[in-house]
Amino acid sequence: MKTYLLNGFLLSLTGFLLLLVVFICGWQSDASHLSLGRWVGGLGGFVIGVIFLVRGIRSRRSEVPEHEEFSYGWACWAGFATQLFASGFGAIFAYLYAAVINPHLVDVLLQAQDEKLQARGLASDQIERADHIVRIMSSPGIQAVANFFGTLFVGALIVLIAAAFLRRPASDLPPPV
C-alpha cells in the first residue's frame, strides 16, 4: 500500500508542478497562448504519468521474490492502485489550482471560446448560452471531479500497456533455502 501511495503522490505532485510551470510561463493567462499551454501540459503530463506508473509497477515487482511470478494481473493491479492514489491527489491539486492559484482561468477559456465561436459566425445569444455552460462546467469542484476521472482513464490505458512489459514469469529455479 505504501508503494502505491508514494508513487501516486509523486505522480500527482509532479503533474501539479508542471501545471504551475505552465501557469508561471503565462500559457494559461492569455487566450493566444492557451493552446501552447495545453500542449505542454498534456504531453508533459502523459510523460510524467508513464514514468511514475512504470516506477510504481517496478517498485511493487521488486518486492516480489525473484523466483515468484509477477503476472500481468498483478502488474495491472500495481499500476491501477498507483493511478487511483494519483487521481485522488490530482483532484485535490486541481481544486486548489482552480479555486486559489488561477481562478481567472475560466475567463481565459471563455475568451478563447468566444473568439472561435465568433469566427464561426454564431449569434451573441448563442455565445452567451455556451459561456453559461462553460462557467458551470468550470467550477473548481467539477474540475476536480473531471480531473479525477480523466486522469484515472488515461492512467488505466497506460497501465494496461506498461503491465504487459513489466510482468515477470515464474522462475524455473527452486526458491533459495
- Model pLDDT, residue 110: 83
DSSP 3-state assignment of 9?
Answer: helix
What 8-state DSSP symbol labels residue 100? I
User: In terms of Cα–Cα distance, which of 14, 1, 11, 3 is closest to 57?
Assistant: 3
User: In terms of Cα–Cα distance, which of 96, 73, 85 is closest to 155?
Assistant: 85
DSSP 3-state assignment of 168?
Answer: strand
The Cα 78–Cα 1 span in angstroms is: 9
| Higher local confidence (pLDDT), 122 or 102 | 102
Specify the DSSP element, H or E, that contains 76: helix 72-96
The Cα 40–Cα 20 span in angstroms is: 12
Q: Which three cell numbers stand for residue 21?
A: 510551470
Sorted by where each begins, the domain ranges of the chain are 2-166
pLDDT in tens, 42-98: 999 999 999 999 999 999 999 999 888 999 999 999 999 999 999 999 999 999 999
Q: Is the pLDDT reported for residue 177 higher than 70?
A: no
Q: Is 101 exposed, middle or buried (0-12, 13-18, 19+ CB in 10 A)?
A: middle
Q: What is the pTM of this model?
A: 0.86
| Higher local confidence (pLDDT), 97 or 29 | 97
Phi/psi of residue 88, each to 5°? -65, -50
Most confident region among 24-33, 81-90, 103-112, 127-136 by mean pLDDT: 81-90
In the predicted model, what is the mean pLDDT of the chain? 91
